[in-house]
């Protein structure tokens, strides 16, 4: 019996509902629930979302429930690969925010950008403009320091934009202060059969 089937059975039993009652309240077909418990067929995501509303799960139970569903959906090997990627991204982003990065407006051209709260930049050109602004500030802040600037960035901007931006910047007056240590380009696995990548 898979972990998901075990947890689903346990949570249904703990909810106080019968399968019939749960199906009636959630709108999920009773046969779908029974097939999930017997491991004949995994319910679709929307059905699981509806079922979960009536299982009265704690935050930790909810985390385990969805992790088990993801494992059943993708397979154990792919599940643990995805967990490793999540941990990598989380650890890198945490180290970035722990530095409490607050750049001051030191470039000659005014930029109406606030770094005191998170914001999404959708346009590649907009992202590169902000990225260039951050590089300028970091280089200027460290001119009289023995420390080297450290910048961690996650974006879906196509690599050519990033590389062109770096090339332009590194050819300027701050080239001696900037060192590119690593660029990681995450792409969707072509063999993932069109399944949505959740990170």
* Cβ 44 vs Cβ 71: under 8 Å: no
pLDDT given for residue 81 in this prediction: 86
Gap between the Cα atoms of 113 and 127, Å rounded: 11
Average pLDDT per block of 10 residues along the chain, 199 residues long: 90 92 92 91 91 91 92 88 80 52 42 54 69 72 58 58 65 59 61 42
pLDDT given for residue 104 in this prediction: 41
Query: In this structure, which topology does domain 3-74 adopt according to CATH?
Result: 434 Repressor (Amino-terminal Domain) (1.10.260)
pLDDT given for residue 194 in this prediction: 43
Q: Who's near 42: CB < 8 A, 6+ residues apart? A: 4, 36, 69, 72, 73
For residues 60-91, one letter each, b for 16 or more C-beta atoms within 10 angstroms of the residue's C-beta and e for the rest, the string is ebeebbbebbbbbbbeeeebeebeeeeeeeee
pLDDT given for residue 103 in this prediction: 42
Domain span(s) for CATH 1.10.260.40 in the chain: 3-74
């Amino acid at each position: 019996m898979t972990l998901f089937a075990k947890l689903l059975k346990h949570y249904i039993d703990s909810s106080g509902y019968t399968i019939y009652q749960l199906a009636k309240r959630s709108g999920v077909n009773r046969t779908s629930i029974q097939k999930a418990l017997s491991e004949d067929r995994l319910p679709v995501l929307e059905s699981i979302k509806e079922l979960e509303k009536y299982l009265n799960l704690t935050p930790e139970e909810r985390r385990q429930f969805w992790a088990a569903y993801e494992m059943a959906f993708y397979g154990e090997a792919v599940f643990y690969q995805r967990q490793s990627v999540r941990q990598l991204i989380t650890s890198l982003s945490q180290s970035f925010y722990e530095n409490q990065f607050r750049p001051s407006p030191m470039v000659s051209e005014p930029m109406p950008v606030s770094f005191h709260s998170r914001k999404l930049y959708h346009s590649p050109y907009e992202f590169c403009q902000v990225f260039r602004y951050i590089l300028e500030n970091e280089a200027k802040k460290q001119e009289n320091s023995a420390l080297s600037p450290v910048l961690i960035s996650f974006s879906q901007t196509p690599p050519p934009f990033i590389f062109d931006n770096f090339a332009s910047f590194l050819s300027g007056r701050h080239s001696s202060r900037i060192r590119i240590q690593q660029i990681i380009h995450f792409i969707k696995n072509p063999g993932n059969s069109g399944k949505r990548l959740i990170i």
